Structure 1
């Protein structure tokens, strides 16, 4: 395996990073909406979003990507592989982040909300200035942990022909007939991405646990 093959793996790595960022940022935006809906106190809205979360948490990510790419094509909506996997990962991430953040919002001491109500703060101000900053801090370790899982999950994008790091490794392996070497490099690249994030998540968890004692 020479430089050209390694450069091809690095291009796959770039698409892995890009897909992870798109899924995480898009999922964060929609996940916040899901979390707010789940804690809104509106029974219908809470049931709908609970069903949404249950759907994406209860089905494999591989199947979700398959449905977005091939299922929409059956009804005449043919999407580019990049667009399809971006949509799939955004929906997937929004369900998981929405549930993580829902738990974090509900973990904020009830007295904080009661104090905000006593000050006559309206809903937007109460959430933006009182509840969400505390919930965000509580959710950080779990959010970082989910990002690690999302990065590793991008390898499933190969199901629709999207060339990210894992598929790039498969292509190089078929060309060089050195699968152990190629996938050792691929694994090392995933490790370099995920291990620092895992350490950071563990550090945040220890720090917040110490602060709460």
Structure 2
């Protein structure tokens, strides 16, 4: 006999949504830190560093996030490293996010007009001083809209964490549907929750684009 959706099921879905938000924040924070390092390395004066970082970006962007999660969660135990589903999901998303944010921020840095670089150099500032006092403050304004927009991709990509057993929003819906067998209703509610999470961020991104005058020139595809 089929079950019926009730308050307990909705509470379970909302609990999964909270884990989706938490996982998104972990990925954004970890990927942001690593992505910032990637961006700086991409504009490094060292050709070796630039090439190594470019290879890293191409490797991560060219590998589906699903595969990265499988390698992290199922592959590492074969060499004696066992991690929890949350750690595996967060680490995989961090790697994925770092590659994309690194490219976004690298593009923002390189978009700063050349005369700004030259003016900073004329002030006899070191490269580090030029970067942090002159270039990065301007690059931040350019990078903000696409960074906010990319957050939507991070939220949607957390749904892949279900493949390693992490119970976020999508996995919560799976579990509930296996119990009551009402896929249309369950996944419709999940879609509404994802929309409620992502739509305000998309609107904010477009608002920032208009206010800053910078359009999103980097097209990002979901893995």
Q: What TM-score range do you get, normalising by the shorter chain?
A: over 0.9
1:63 matched to 2:82? The reply is: no
Normalising by structure 1, we get a TM-score of 0.96
Instruction: Please name the residue that 1:52 is paired with.
Output: 56
Partner Cα separation in structure 2 for residue 144 and residue 60 of structure 1: 22
Instruction: Please name the residue that 1:74 is paired with.
Output: 78
Higher helix share: 1
Partner Cα separation in structure 2 for residue 19 and residue 126 of structure 1: 35
Q: Match of 2:213, SS?
A: helix
1:193 matched to 2:208? The reply is: no
Instruction: Please name the residue that 2:219 is paired with.
Output: none
Alpha carbons 2:142, 2:214 under 8 Å: kept: no
CA apart distance, 1:210: 7.7
Q: Match of 1:131, SS?
A: helix
Root-mean-square deviation over aligned CA pairs: 1.2
Partner Cα separation in structure 2 for residue 210 and residue 172 of structure 1: 43
Partner Cα separation in structure 2 for residue 38 and residue 83 of structure 1: 27
Q: Match of 2:44, SS?
A: coil
Partner Cα separation in structure 2 for residue 138 and residue 110 of structure 1: 15
1:126 matched to 2:147? The reply is: no
Please list the CA deviations of residues 94-137 of structure 1 after superposition, one character each: whole Å capped at 9, or x if unmatched: 11000000000000001111111111112222111111111111
5+ residue gaps in structure 2? 216-223
Partner Cα separation in structure 2 for residue 133 and residue 2 of structure 1: 50
Instruction: Please name the residue that 1:16 is paired with.
Output: 20
1:175 matched to 2:140? The reply is: no
Among candidates 75, 92, 97, match of residue 93 of structure 1: 97
Normalising by structure 2, we get a TM-score of 0.92
Q: Match of 1:35, SS?
A: helix
